[in-house]
Structure 1
Amino acid sequence: MISSFTQRHDGERLSGVYGGGGPDRATAVLLHGAGNGSKERLTPVGEEFAGRGCGVLALDFSGHGESTGELRELSLRRRFEQAVAVIDARVPAEGPLILVGFSMSGQTVADLVRHYGERVTAIGLCSPAVYAAEAWDVPFGSGNSRFSAILRTPDSWRGAPALDALRAYEGRAVLAVPGHDEVIPSDVTEAVQDALTARSQYTRLDIPDAPHRLGLWFHDHADDRREFVDALLVEGWTATRAWMAKQLPAGRTVATTRFLSGGWSSQMRALTLDDGSDLVLRSFVKPFFRHHAPGLLNREASILTLLAGQDGIPAPELLAVDATVEHSDHPSLLMSRLPGRVRVDEEDLVQRLDLLAAQLVRIHRVVPDERPRAYQAWTSPEQVRVPDGALWERAVDVIRREPPSYEGVFLHRDFHPGNVLFTDDLRISGVVDWVETSWGPADLDVAHCSTALALLHGPEHGLGFRDRYEAQGGRRLADGTDHLYWRLLDSLAYAPDAGKLAGPWRELGRTELTPAVLGERLEAYVDGLLQRYA
């Protein structure tokens, strides 16, 4: 039975409802949005959870509903503290939590995920918002408040700590996206999705006819409400585990699993078997890559088969692939695990850059019996989004032409430090991520690695990678503006949000690589290319 309660906290009286569930059942914590949001409009969602045997807890934040206090005095920090106070008072200690946040409470859910850790078994984010770090402790105020000024600052949310919290979360996650969100920019929604697909058991629930206020929508649309709750309560990865068990060597079982840092397009898990041997499971969870998985994973499977007979290219051994999700929850590929680790630090950098260049030269010497597909450009003059300014206009003008002629070679197409493994004695022990393998100009592989080096280690290292490649005996590259075309075709694909590449790098310890730092490095790199080759 769900009943009402009031709780004193920080001089205010918070109104809430709680009930249902049992000692071993999860409690669904429902958190309303800003403005005139309240627990009342979430009653049907709470009843849906209670009907499945879950506990239910909902509250009115101060200044909302039946709670006391002034809305203008509320802040993101105080919302978090009020939620913690109510959860700690009503939910048994160590009891599992399902956190559901609407709009502004997307931020609150992320704060609670960081606070409660493994107690959080599932999160549901409905039209979620995230905010810049400097907004967390600022009262909302009214009119032209400081909080409003922070929100109006273009792209202030891009470095939101909430995104890092969601990126580290490994439980069940459902992102509910309305078809007509007049409040939350689509870039914010995509950033939240990118964060959730890094590690969580992720599902995206699109509701085409719904507006931003999904709490009201669920109140009046029972089918969508039930689908949302069903998605939160289903156990993830069941089919994948069953499929994977059938692919293991005879008599072997998986003893432990852990995430591998450094992935961006897919989730990577290290599997240690009961005999101590190691495998890697690659799964496409992001909707874009899931959609393109049949081509990507089948291509990787064929390339790994090809490279099994190549000297000097340490690639994984293919065990199995399910690119069309016939047997697993997500498109997946199972392969051997190579020794070594990804290096994105600054130690031994010069030696590592020479090793990278030499390895790329060896890749370009592969002569396959059957050519892979022709390369695909990752941006175009029509698609590119760059900051205002003469520099960027000039850079985009460079790629407003037909591609230069070239002599095709075997391309990795996504060769950069994040896809190369090094041993402790500074040898390359693995090259991974072969889903984009193509046929095209060697300049394009050099360009892609150069962009990554410029962002990761500084513009001068990106500008100098061509020289290292040629010094190792690489293919003849284009001259002047032809080479500039390939370099800018790659680097402009990362404007204006160069920071999207850095999530895995930050996981690996490069926390100083903020969006601002990466934006400055990209601009300096593009300027350097124009000065050198234009």
Structure 2
Amino acid sequence: MSELIPFTHVIGGERLSGLASGGGERARATVVLLHGAGNGGKERLVPLLAEFAAHGCHALAFDFSGHGESTGLLPELSLRRRFEQAVSVIDARARVDGPLVLAGFSMSGQTVADLVRHYGDRVAALGLCAPAVYAAEAWDVPFGAGDGRFSEIIRGPGSWHAAPGLDVLRAFEGRAVLAVPGTDEVIPPAVTEAFSQALARRAQFTHWELPDARHRLGRWFRDHPDDRREFVAAVLTGLGEHGWTATRAWVARQLPEGRTVDKSAFLAGGWSAQMRRLTLDDGTELALRTIVKPFFRRHAPGLLAREAEILTLLAEQEGVPAAELIGVDATGEHCDHPSLLMSVLPGRVRVDEEELGPRVDLLAGQLARIHRIVPRERPRAYQAWTSPTAVPPGWERAVDVIRRDPPPYDGCFLHRDFHPGNVLFTGSGAGLRVSGVVDWVETSWGPADLDVAHCSTALALLHGPEYGLGFRERYEAQGGRRLADGPEHLYWRLLDALAYVPDAAKLAGPWRELGRTDLTPEVLGERLEAYVTGLLKRYA
């Protein structure tokens, strides 16, 4: 084990007890280990401290006031004071010009988020272990003895939903590892899922499960050296390149000889994958799709292989503007995550209210042209995205419709995820055009009604129920395929719409990034309910 050097740091009249391991001007990074609440302390993190030092890092751990060997009273501590103490220690003991790696346990998930907000791009990597995050109003409140205002705030149902810390993590673009115990008696699963979703937005993210572990992962890593080593290696992956070393190397091999990537920019609006615009040294622009979210990563080999196949097919088609395939690593064998590289299409996603009628007509016409594609081989059969048992109580009349067997249909080529967020527009007025259709990972064979249904649901949520209810007529007016009538068409419409019950807001995250901050959960819930009611009235 590397030599541990005790230190004392004074802040606000308190003496914080700490340990430092490794160091020197040649250290790869400064790693700061932050313990949890209650009886947490630095001592159980000593083996982890030494492991980071063995990887060439300057590693620090200290007891927050009221913990371990530090002075102070725990009831007087607060989230703000935790943050201020961590900043004071880091500023005193970390290299000013070096990257920071932050590892936080339990309550220190919040502290890590606060430090990312404070230090910005200086933070290269995160290790979050069974982390917690809290409502903004809890930040200044002393912890007390467990029966005061702080406890009242954090025990409020869903109090963490709007936690500012999650917004910070959504914007983080470095390396991030979320260590999740198999049994966590402290952190609700919904909080863990919120961390996972936030980190998957932009970070080089790994969701790492430890099936036999419980909440106190500091103890687990202390007692399980193999997991400890794996955790440290994972956090330090690609240090200096925000964790994207393998992906950068793979992209370089796909480029024409002599070309290099000059800059990279995150593209807003993606849901299932991270999207980046890569600008080459000659000005050429490419798009990189990277699948990071755990659910979609499990299905990435099929999703990306299918998209690569479809992009190749569409290169031979007229009337469907799609990207040119450059390269694909569907399994993530060569990249940090499964990835697909393609050309950039002109135009932009439009989710605003201007020129809405003409845009919806163009959407309908484009979907009709997609349905005319005759592939050499049929893609897979469509998959339903909900079921009667997945819909919560309160929607019984609609659920009864989809309990029936699917109606017979005359199948066709489906985009399967066609909606305004996957269509690019250029121009305005008489020059308004569809310039691109993206995200072909769900391409399927099935009823045209299902594509119409999916776009209709999105329009209802984005622009109001009337736009969703009226999309069928626009599609048919643009020469679309003959759709089912009455209850048979209703089946497909509800099979799609009910997939967004009870959380219609999950579809709107990318839309809010594009400026539609008016799409609150309340607005979306009301629109979905009105849309489903309208469908039942029209087709039942």
TM over 0.5: yes
1:532 to 513, 532, 538: 538
Matches of 2:31 and 2:334 in 1, distance apart? Answer: 31
Structure 1 range deviating more: 96-105 or 201-210: 201-210
Corresponding residue for residue 127 of structure 1: 130
1:116-154 CA distances to partner (integer Å, 9 max, x unpaired)? 111001000111122333433343334444433443343
Does 1:238 pair with 2:241? no
User: How many aligned positions are there?
Assistant: 530
Does 1:110 pair with 2:116? no
Please tell me the residue identity of whatever aligns with 2:143: F
Corresponding residue for residue 486 of structure 2: 480
Matches of 2:85 and 2:398 in 1, distance apart? Answer: 50
Matches of 1:247 and 1:474 in 2, distance apart? Answer: 38
Corresponding residue for residue 148 of structure 1: 151
Matches of 2:401 and 2:528 in 1, distance apart? Answer: 16
Structure 1 SS opposite 2:207:
strand
CA contact (8 A) 1:23 1:95 kept: no
**Cα distance, 1:218 vs. partner?**
0.9
Corresponding residue for residue 497 of structure 1: 503
Matches of 2:423 and 2:20 in 1, distance apart? Answer: 51
Q: Which runs of 5+ in 2 are unaligned?
A: none
Change (3 A) 1:32 1:252: same
1:259-318 CA distances to partner (integer Å, 9 max, x unpaired)? 211111112221212221111121222232222222111111111111112221100111
Does 1:457 pair with 2:457? no
Corresponding residue for residue 5 of structure 1: 7
Please tell me the residue identity of whatever aligns with 1:82: Q
**Cα distance, 1:516 vs. partner?**
4.1
Structure 2 SS opposite 1:319:
strand
Please tell me the residue identity of whatever aligns with 2:529: E
Structure 1 range deviating more: 419-428 or 436-445: 419-428
User: What aligned pairs does 1:63-462 form with structure 2 within 5 A after superposition?
Assistant: 63-235=66-238, 236-384=243-391, 386=392, 388-389=393-394, 392-425=395-428, 426-462=432-468
Matches of 2:77 and 2:451 in 1, distance apart? Answer: 51
CA contact (8 A) 2:30 2:95 kept: no
CA contact (8 A) 2:245 2:336 kept: yes
CA contact (8 A) 1:299 1:435 kept: yes
Matches of 2:525 and 2:142 in 1, distance apart? Answer: 30
Does 1:18 pair with 2:25? no
Moved over 6 A (4+): none
Q: Which runs of 5+ in 1 are unaligned?
A: none
CA contact (8 A) 1:159 1:515 kept: no
Matches of 2:386 and 2:103 in 1, distance apart? Answer: 37
Matches of 1:453 and 1:181 in 2, distance apart? Answer: 39
CA contact (8 A) 1:159 1:514 kept: no
Corresponding residue for residue 50 of structure 1: 53
Matches of 1:393 and 1:152 in 2, distance apart? Answer: 32
Please tell me the residue identity of whatever aligns with 1:500: K
Matches of 1:54 and 1:206 in 2, distance apart? Answer: 25
RMSD over aligned Cα atoms: 2.2
Matches of 1:383 and 1:274 in 2, distance apart? Answer: 49
Matches of 2:529 and 2:142 in 1, distance apart? Answer: 35
**Cα distance, 1:198 vs. partner?**
1.9
**Cα distance, 1:10 vs. partner?**
4.0
Structure 1 range deviating more: 462-471 or 438-447: 462-471
Please tell me the residue identity of whatever aligns with 2:316: G
Change (3 A) 1:346 1:21: farther
Structure 2 SS opposite 1:241:
helix
CA contact (8 A) 1:124 1:175 kept: yes
Change (3 A) 1:7 1:243: closer
Structure 1 range deviating more: 345-354 or 434-443: 345-354
CA contact (8 A) 2:51 2:232 kept: yes
CA contact (8 A) 2:35 2:106 kept: yes
What is the TM-score when the length of structure 1 is the normalising length? 0.93
Matches of 1:175 and 1:265 in 2, distance apart? Answer: 18
Matches of 1:531 and 1:76 in 2, distance apart? Answer: 52
**Cα distance, 1:377 vs. partner?**
0.3
Matches of 1:420 and 1:24 in 2, distance apart? Answer: 49
